[in-house]
Amino acid sequence: MQKIIECVPNFSEGRNLDVIRQITEAIESVAGIALLNVDPGASTNRTVVTFAGHPNAAVEAAFLGIQKAAELIDMRKQKGAHPRMGATDVCPFIPVSDVSWEEAIACANQLGKRVGDELKIPVYLYERAAKDPARSNLAVIRAGEYEGFFEKMKEAAWAPDFGPVRFSEKSGATVIGAREFLVAYNVNLNTKAVRRANSVAFDVRENGRVKTEDGTPSGKPVLDAKGEPVRVPGALKHVKAIGWYVEEYGMAQVSMNLTNLDETPLHVAFDACDEAASKRGLRVTGSEVVGMLPKKCLVEAGKYFLRKQKWSEGAAEEELIATAVRSMGLNELKPFEPKEKIIEWKMEAAAKKSLVQMNLRQFCNETLSESPAPGGGSVAALMGSLGVSLAGMVANLSAGKRGWDDKVGYFSGWAVQAQQLKDELLFLVDEDTAAFNKVMDAFALPKDSVEEKAARSAAIQTANKYAAEIPLRVMETAAKSYQILRTMADEGNPASISDVGVGLLATRACIEGAAMNVRINLGSLKDEKVKSVFREKLQRFSAESDSEFRLIDQVVQRKLD
């Protein structure tokens, strides 16, 4: 699946729109980067920029943004309400999709080294990327701000992680790191009373409330041995919350910051507020997400609410997200537009239209045209996605079959696996065409000089290798469908056995078609070692496919007869 990391640099300029424009243009100049939001503040004299893309592209875009900010912003003249220590004050990386913490930390280190070495700006690492735990907190690093750092940097404890041990008068210093994704999330209550909203907030937030002798908010605090107030923790970890009244909406809300979505997902926060509100005679009427969020937040929420309904979770992402929106009332106050609020979908909308975004007629027309792409590789991947979709359909029908209530979870699990494989194969539909285009781009490189010929030859070999790798991935991915098809043939709704059979044929056609594309691309490879490895995988995947197909087909044919 596509690797996406978010980057949120904060630049110490919020008033000069031309400067802000030049910085964001530098960021957007990197291929594969989607600029998601630009939020300038005049009083703070600070602009928060949010963009996302592949980790390599994100590092390059962040560097160009920091470079342009260092060129245009003079910290000797900068004043604003927000704490700051440099032209680029802070630049965190946040994993969004298929990016590990190790990769995010590596991004912070790569960027920090480049900024220190090439721009001569002192760099401090914070949060997950911090080398010194004492410097993991941004506020601790920033203490003293720009004006105080000239003396602060003279202390051995405050030598930067990268760059010169000398404070830059013009650009200041920069803090770079890797942190959790933060979601600002508000839950709506059927009351205008801030005090009652605060009671719900204290019930759920990690910090809870101060314990009192009589148990009332106005009672005398209970103190510990050190004379500090004893706190009763709330229900949720990694959650900060307060109650407030929003005049625009005419209601009170529980306003939360969720700082660890793995520990406390969106739907868990919603249900905790709902439970706490009900105990106090209140009702949760809906909720709102401020800003953007990763797709997985709503996908997991959709699965959670379907699970509560004792229904199959094996729905498409679009339906899971629609379920989450309805269940949490995310469109109560204003329309919730998933394509604008979900990072991955916002990026897809900004990118060139893909094959999988076409309707069936458009896809067939494009395939039938004189253009060589999409070709057999993309069509093979599409057949694989259709094959596993039929397997997932049978799983969902079996989960919903009357009298099979005790099997809902079992068949739902297979349907979820089918959805995952379908999405992987759809991704490969586009990736196969992208791989072919890379081959064409390599052949189009100049070849006038000896150096150009060598570079062109190397690029062609790299592109051909990738063009063979993609259909191999198609074969390997589609082969996983056989387990689902076999289970559905043996145990699924017997009325759908013909659907299993068609899915089986589509899966086999996908694997055999992808094998042809591997073979034709291997013919252009010169690296015999790579060719040998690829051929071994090709033969193994093909043989295993033939064996699986025969076994499952026997079951299908017997049940059809």
Cα 64 from Cα 54, distance rounded (Å): 15
Query: Between residues 117 and 400, which one has the greater pLDDT?
Result: 117
Q: What is the mean pLDDT of residues 310-330?
A: 95
Domain boundaries, given as residue ranges, for the chain: 4-178, 183-347, 352-560
Which bin fits 125, alpha (ψ -120 to 50), beta or left (φ > 0)?
A: beta
Place of tokens 């090439």: 118
Place of tokens 């790299």: 462
Asked if 192 and 280 touch (Cβ cutoff 8 Å), the reply is no
- CATH (residue range 4-178): 3.30.990.10
What is the chain's mean pLDDT, rounded? 93
Cα 408 from Cα 395, distance rounded (Å): 9
Tell me what pLDDT residue 370 has. 87
CATH topology of domain 352-560: Four Helix Bundle (Hemerythrin (Met), subunit A) (1.20.120)
Q: What is the mean pLDDT of residues 370-394?
A: 94
Place of tokens 């379920």: 323
Question: What is the architecture, at CATH level 2, of domain 183-347?
Answer: 2-Layer Sandwich (3.30)
- Nearest to 323, CA basis, from 301, 296, 350: 301
For residue 475, the 8-state DSSP code is H
Cα 427 from Cα 384, distance rounded (Å): 11
Identify the three-state secondary structure at position 42: coil
| pLDDT higher than threshold 70 for residue 352 | no
Query: What is the identity of the amino acid at 281?
Result: G
Q: What is the mean pLDDT of residues 331-345?
A: 92
- Per-residue HEC secondary structure of 367-388 comes to HHCCCCCCCHHHHHHHHHHHHH
The number of beta carbons lying within 10 Å of the beta carbon of residue 357 is: 13
Read off the pLDDT of residues 152-190 as tens digits, 9 standing for 90 and up: 998 988 999 999 998 889 999 999 999 998 898 999 999
**Local confidence band at 350 (pLDDT 50, 70, 90 cut-offs):** low
Q: What is the mean pLDDT of residues 380-385?
A: 97
Tell me what pLDDT residue 322 has. 97
Say what percent of the chain tops pLDDT 90. 77
Strand 209-210 relative to strand 284-290, pairing: unpaired
Read off the pLDDT of residues 189-243 as tens digits, 9 standing for 90 and up: 999 999 999 999 999 999 998 888 777 777 787 887 888 888 889 999 999 999 9
Identify the three-state secondary structure at position 535: helix
Cα 266 from Cα 263, distance rounded (Å): 10
Cα distance between the two ends of the chain: 40
Q: What is the mean pLDDT of residues 43-51?
A: 88
Cα 68 from Cα 91, distance rounded (Å): 14
Asked if 253 and 189 touch (Cβ cutoff 8 Å), the reply is yes
Q: What is the mean pLDDT of residues 125-154?
A: 91
Asked if 249 and 228 touch (Cβ cutoff 8 Å), the reply is no
Q: Among 89, 271, 430, 432, which one carries the catalytic annotation?
A: 432
For residue 168, the 8-state DSSP code is B
Q: Is 82 a catalytic residue?
A: yes
| pLDDT higher than threshold 80 for residue 353 | no
The number of beta carbons lying within 10 Å of the beta carbon of residue 169 is: 11
| pLDDT higher than threshold 80 for residue 480 | yes
Tell me what pLDDT residue 211 has. 84
HSE of 298, CA atoms in CB hemisphere, 13 A:
31
Q: What is the mean pLDDT of residues 435-439?
A: 90
Q: Among 82, 238, 423, 553, which one carries the catalytic annotation?
A: 82
| pLDDT higher than threshold 90 for residue 378 | yes
Contacts of 337 (CB under 8 A, 6+ apart): none
Asked if 201 and 243 touch (Cβ cutoff 8 Å), the reply is yes
Q: Is 214 a catalytic residue?
A: no
Q: What is the mean pLDDT of residues 74-92?
A: 90
